């Protein structure tokens, strides 16, 4: 996920930029709050006491352990999206985070578990709540914001902080950008004591600054050793006794590091992911759902971006980003078609293939077989170019199917838009 303050500063428009931001937001693996807390504690980061619960029986046991001296407990919905506190359940319950008396915990948990929570980051469909984090109510002096992410400009990690935090961080970053502290870190040298202390000063920590600096360094250690793309702690809070505590955090991880971070990637919760993305991943297809009605199947991310841009230029709207890669086989093409046609929004399909390693005749055979298997009922526009293109076009012409051939990308986009006009 993109950090919340970056979402506020970034205005994703139509075409490649919007699609790119969506890819960035969705493609980096992330974990639930309770999973992130467990991981952070392994690196020496202070986290609030809490117990995950997936059933009412587990909730009941956890409440008994987490209730404070006043008999209150915090119940937090676990979804892979921010804005939970201000969210709304589709059953009418307001808020995905609640502080309640112990006696009311089970009643509230029953409304939350198995429900769908809608926040400003989930979209109108919301996310299912299959786990609740039962946490101890913390007495906090003040809240701050802290994040580490990869910065393209400095080609390394960037620490970002703000002496104010909480749910309004997006608005704060937009209205008062001067309050945001940025400290780049040289990945070859790692974080220095001076940089950690500079962040502590910028956060205006009032307690033990040396211990606070150790917490900043522990978060950086987590970022590097766990192959994180982002560590966002909001709020990073200061307790009454002056300790820093990661009261809530989002962690994102580099998909390319899955082979050496098996324990982390085994935490994957597929219920939080678009089912089409889950299906695509099983066949090594890169899929991102969008809001339009023209399904796209393309080989190569750059060509996919160009295809979406040209569809938009001619008045259409892409329904997805689907990259079958440079060496897809016929079975992958068939599965790609199943994913596209399974989307009720799709009213036409545009296939744009440039054959290099991938041969156009193999793709054409896959297209024909896929169209027959799924009983294709929407217009299909195909543009082929490259290796064995003549053989590929012959396969399409002789298929006996109603396939709209296109001469080039511009022609293909025009025909796809016209097909649903």
Out of 145, 220, 283, 287, the active site residue is 145
Residue 356 annotated as lining a ligand binding site:
yes
Asked whether residue 255 is marked as a ligand-binding residue, the answer is no
Chain-centre distance for alpha carbon 76: 20
Q: 50 among the known binding-site residues? A: no
Is 76 annotated among the ligand-binding residues? yes
Residue 69, classed as helix, strand or coil, is coil
Residue keyed to tokens 């890669």: 325
Q: How far from 153 is each of 97, 149, 157, 158, 348, CA to CA, in Å?
A: 36, 12, 10, 10, 39
Residue 83 marked ligand-binding: yes
Residue 329 assigned to a binding site: no
Does the annotation flag 85 for ligand binding? Answer: yes
58 in a known ligand binding site: no
Mode of pairing for the β-strands spanning 132-135 and 181-184: unpaired
358 is in an annotated binding site: yes
Q: Is 240 exposed, middle or buried (0-12, 13-18, 19+ CB in 10 A)?
A: exposed
**CA–CA dist 179, 92 (Å, integer):** 37
Q: Tell me how far apart the 2 most distant CA atoms of the chain are, in Å.
A: 78
Would residue 287 show up in a list of annotated catalytic residues for this protein?
Answer: no
The response to whether 295 counts as a known ligand-binding position is: no
Handedness of CA 233, 238, 244, 248 (dihedral sign): negative
| Sheet with 97-101: strands ordered across | 50-53, 132-135, 72-77, 97-101
259 catalytic residue (yes or no) = no
Structure tokens given for 160 = 């970002």
138 is in an annotated binding site: no
Choosing from 170, 232, 238, 335, the catalytic residue is 232
Q: How many CA atoms lie within 13 A of 62 on its CB side?
A: 24
CA-CA-CA-CA dihedral for 178, 181, 186, 191, to nearest 10: 170
Catalytic residues: 145, 232
* Sequence ranges of the binding site for ATP: 76, 83-85, 143
* Sequence ranges of the binding site: 76, 83-85, 143, 234, 248, 299, 356-358
* Sequence ranges of the binding site for substrate: 299, 356-358
């Amino acid at each position: 996920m993109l950090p919340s303050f970056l979402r506020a500063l970034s205005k994703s428009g139509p075409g490649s930029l919007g699609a790119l931001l969506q890819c960035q937001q969705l493609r980096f693996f992330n974990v639930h709050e309770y999973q992130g807390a467990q991981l952070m504690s392994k690196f020496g980061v202070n986290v609030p006491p809490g117990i995950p619960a997936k059933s009412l029986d587990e909730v009941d046991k956890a409440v008994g352990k987490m209730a404070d001296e006043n008999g209150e407990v915090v119940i937090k919905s676990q979804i892979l999206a921010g804005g939970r506190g201000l969210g709304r359940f589709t059953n009418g319950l307001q808020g995905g985070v609640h502080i309640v008396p112990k006696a009311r915990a089970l009643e509230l948990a029953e409304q939350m578990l198995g429900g769908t929570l809608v926040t400003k980051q989930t979209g109108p469909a919301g996310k299912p709540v299959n786990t609740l984090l039962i946490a101890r109510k913390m007495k906090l002096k003040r809240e701050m914001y802290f994040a580490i992410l990869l910065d393209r400009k400095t080609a390394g990690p960037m620490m970002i902080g703000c002496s104010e935090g909480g749910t309004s961080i997006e608005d704060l970053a937009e209205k008062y950008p001067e309050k945001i502290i940025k400290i780049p870190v040289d990945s070859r040298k790692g974080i220095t004591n001076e940089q950690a202390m500079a962040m502590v000063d910028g956060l205006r920590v009032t307690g033990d600054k040396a211990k606070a600096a150790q917490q900043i360094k522990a978060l950086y250690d987590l970022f590097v050793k766990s192959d994180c793309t982002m560590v966002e702690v909001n709020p990073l809070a200061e307790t009454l006794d002056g300790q820093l505590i990661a009261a809530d955090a989002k962690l994102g991880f580099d998909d390319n590091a899955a082979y050496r971070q098996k324990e982390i990637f085994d935490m994957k919760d597929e219920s939080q992911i678009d089912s089409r993305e889950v299906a695509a991943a099983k066949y090594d297809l890169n899929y991102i759902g969008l809001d339009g009605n023209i399904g796209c199947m393309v080989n190569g991310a750059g060509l996919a971006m160009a295809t979406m841009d040209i569809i938009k230029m001619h008045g259409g709207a892409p329904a997805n980003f689907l990259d079958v890669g440079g060496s897809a086989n016929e079975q992958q093409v068939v599965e790609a078609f199943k994913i596209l046609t399974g989307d009720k929004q799709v009213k036409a399909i545009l296939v744009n293939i440039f054959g290099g390693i991938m041969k156009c005749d193999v793709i054409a055979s896959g297209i024909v077989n896929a169209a027959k298997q799924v009983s294709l009922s929407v217009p299909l526009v195909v543009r082929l170019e490259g290796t064995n293109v003549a053989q590929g076009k012959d396969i399409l012409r002789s298929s006996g199917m109603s396939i709209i051939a296109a001469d080039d990308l511009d022609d293909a986009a025009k025909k796809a838009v016209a097909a649903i006009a």
